[in-house]
Amino acid sequence: MNGLLVLEQILNGLQLGVMLFLLAAGLTLIFGIMDLINLAHGSLYMVGAYVAATVAQLTGSFMLGLLAALPAAAVVGMAVEVIALRTLYERSHLDQVLATFGLILFFNELVRIVWGPQAIFMDVPGALSGTVEIIPGAPYPTFRLAIIGAGIVVAALLYVLVARTRVGMLIRAGASNREMVGALGVDVRLLYTLVFGLGAALAGLAGAMAGPLLAVEVGMGEGILILTFVVIVIGGIGSIRGALVGALLVGLVDTLGRAFLPTLLRLVMDPATADGVGASLSSMSIYILMAAILVLRPRGLFPAHV
């Protein structure tokens, strides 16, 4: 097995992990603070991707597209929160699941009407379209490296926000005891809307960055949403640290599994069976990981609530 190949796949895994972290960080806060299960979070990712793709096409600049996606997703997110989600906070989780399920159907159809059913393709920005030799002889796509870099920056910024600012303190307090925060006289509704906007912006950012890598199409949010759920379950609800660890774990396990499991299995099985079993197992690998962690820690690795 080629060491460079392994390194490349590890980086791919980190890149996937970063995208998942952007989605999971916002969502885990929303779960933890507002106790709201929101299936439509993937739709915000989709909005980010579509806005970025459209603006990039119109202006020819990926950066402009990215910069447009962030506020667009945040605004859409906050609008949805104020209009549709506020009534759901007091409701049962079942009601929240069904209502946000309805939101997904609505958003998907809306996007289909506005942009059409075909997928849009985004080009990797010229400046980042080459490769970088991280180790001599090992070229790696610059764009993917940029995503990893962006993720590290966001993670650092989030850490500063949550650990060092007043707003962050309110967020942490809200994640571990939401009634207390209200009792302390904080304008909880405003806090909720802001947290939602933050989560939406992060999701939009992930969508904009994913645009050049995957096709921008209706329904792109749902697949990654479920992966995000797995990340949050593994990491623990309400914990950004958990989201980071979970995202990196899921990203690495999924990527490395798909890349190397069939090869590993060939050591003990004939190639045809190994490929078949390998394909099946690797598509299930992160769920098996989730199950294993749940057996030991039913509330995830770093749950915010005790």
Partner 1 sequence: MSRLRRPRRRDVVLLGALAGALLLPPLALALDEPFYVSLASRILIYGLAAASLDLILGFGGMVSFGHAAFVGAGGYAVGILFVHGFDGSAVLGLLPGSDNALLVWPAAMLIAGTLALVIGAISLRTGGVYFIMITLAFAQMLYFFFVSLEAYGGDDGLSLYSRSRAPGLDLADDTTFYYVCLGVLVLFLWLGRRLVDSRFGMVLRGVRENERRMQAIGFPTYRYKLAGFAIAGAVAGLSGALIANHTEFVSPALMHWTRSGEIMVMVILGGMGTLFGPVFGAAVLLLLEEVLSTWTEHWMLVLGPLLILVVLFGRRGVYGWLVGGDTR
Q: Which of residues 198-227 bind partner 1 (CB under 8 A)?
A: 222, 226
Q: Which of residues 234-293 bind partner 1 (CB under 8 A)?
A: 237, 276, 279-280, 283-284, 287-288, 290-291
Distance CA 136, CA 232 (A): 37
**Number of chain positions touching partner 1 (CB under 8 A):** 44
CB neighbours (10 Å) of residue 95? 13
Smallest gap from Cβ 68 to partner 1, in A, equals 25
* Residues 6 or more apart whose Cβ sits within 8 Å of residue 288: 281
Smallest gap from Cβ 101 to partner 1, in A, equals 5
Q: Which of 132, 145, 299, 301 binds partner 1 (CB under 8 A)?
A: 299
Q: Residues 72, 70, 42, 26: is their CA dihedral positive or negative? A: negative
Distance CA 235, CA 246 (A): 5
Q: Which of 141, 300, 302, 304 binds partner 1 (CB under 8 A)?
A: 300
Smallest gap from Cβ 102 to partner 1, in A, equals 3
C-beta closer to partner 1: residue 193 or 282: 282
Smallest gap from Cβ 288 to partner 1, in A, equals 8
Smallest gap from Cβ 152 to partner 1, in A, equals 27
Pattern 124-163, partner 1, x by CB under 8 A: ----------------------------------------
Q: Which of 7, 64, 112, 134 binds partner 1 (CB under 8 A)?
A: 112
Angle at the Cα of 63 (from 57 to 64), degrees rounded to 5?
60
Q: Which of 4, 7, 10, 35 binds partner 1 (CB under 8 A)?
A: 35
In Å, how far from its chain's centre is CA 81?
Answer: 19
Distance CA 59, CA 254 (A): 35
Contacts by 121-128 with C-beta closer than 8 Å and gap 24+?
A: 121/53, 121/215, 121/216, 122/49, 122/52, 122/53, 122/56, 122/57, 122/62, 122/65, 122/211, 122/212, 122/216, 123/56, 123/62, 123/212, 124/62, 124/212, 125/61, 125/62, 125/63, 125/212, 128/62
CB neighbours (10 Å) of residue 226? 14
Longest dimension (CA), the chain: 66
In Å, how far from its chain's centre is CA 32?
Answer: 16
Q: Does 113 bind partner 1 (CB under 8 A)?
A: yes
C-beta closer to partner 1: residue 149 or 271: 271
Question: What six digits make up the tokens of 157?
Answer: 């910024």
Q: Which of residues 72-111 bind partner 1 (CB under 8 A)?
A: 84, 87, 93-95, 97-99, 101-110
Number of residues that this document lists for the chain? 306
C-beta closer to partner 1: residue 244 or 286: 286
Smallest gap from Cβ 227 to partner 1, in A, equals 9
Binding residues vs partner 1 (CB under 8 A): 31, 35, 37, 84, 87, 93-95, 97-99, 101-110, 112-113, 222, 226, 229-230, 232-233, 237, 276, 279-280, 283-284, 287-288, 290-291, 294-295, 298-300
